[in-house]
Amino acid sequence: MKKLNCGCGNIPLEGYINMDKYYYPGCGSPNLNHKLAKSWKGEWIYGDVLDMNFKHNYFDKILFVHTLEHLSFEDGNRALQNISRILKPGGVVEIEVPDLTKACKLFLETDPFVLGGDNRVWWRKIGLFHGTTGVDGEGQFHLSNYTKNYLTKKMEEHGFINIEEILVGYGHGKPEPEYNFRLRGVRDDK
């Protein structure tokens, strides 16, 4: 079974080809010093989700965890098109992103920013919209946000069927279902 962890960041997964544009062995990034990255002996390659040089119908499974929100909506469409192209008919894609609906509710429930105060909760919630401050890498800014319904629609437009929400899980960092959602879809064989 051929599996791709597309946009893996500095967290590779065993049994997958781990691909990222910013984090990969030899990239020189000081942020690659994650304990998993230091000891990783598996397959980890440079790659851009907008220009993937894999054969058509190559992978059985693709993880796209916390990558889509780092692309504009236009580039997100191109990435979904590429994923559909390289995924075998009947293959599975899992896409996890911050939940825009939850982010809006959480942000409105959060105390406002306090000058000179402890604003870690505020920053964590604003990060759902914008990503990080960029201190941990160029690819960390968010350029788009998704609701479950909108992402489902986009997946359907790119040939995915049987789309369902599954538990937020393994992948990048600790699971945070209070902030994120994950959809699984199957590439239509038509």
Rounded distance, CA 32 to CA 38, Å? Answer: 8
pLDDT grade, residue 148 (50/70/90)? very high
The mean pLDDT value for 13-27 works out to 78
Contact 69, 140 (CB under 8 A): no
What amino acid is encoded at 148 in this protein?
A: K
Domain ranges of the chain: 3-187
pLDDT at 33: 46
Which stretch of 9-13, 65-69, 103-107, 148-152 has the lowest confidence by average pLDDT? Answer: 9-13
Tell me the average pLDDT of the chain: 84
The mean pLDDT value for 103-115 works out to 81
The per-residue pLDDT for range 63-83, each reduced to its tens digit, is 999 999 999 999 999 999 999
- In the predicted model, is pLDDT for residue 85 greater than 90? yes
pLDDT grade, residue 133 (50/70/90)? low
Nearest CA to 102 out of 124, 118, 117, 79 is that of 124
Q: What are phi and psi of 116, to 5 degrees?
A: 75, 5
Measure CA 172 to chain center: 8
Check residues 48 and 10 and name the one with the higher pLDDT. Answer: 48
The mean pLDDT value for 32-54 works out to 73
Fold of the domain built from segment(s) 3-187:
Rossmann fold (3.40.50)
pLDDT grade, residue 128 (50/70/90)? confident
Rounded distance, CA 59 to CA 47, Å? Answer: 15
pLDDT at 36: 54
H helices within the chain, ranges in order?
35-39, 73-86, 100-109, 120-130, 148-157
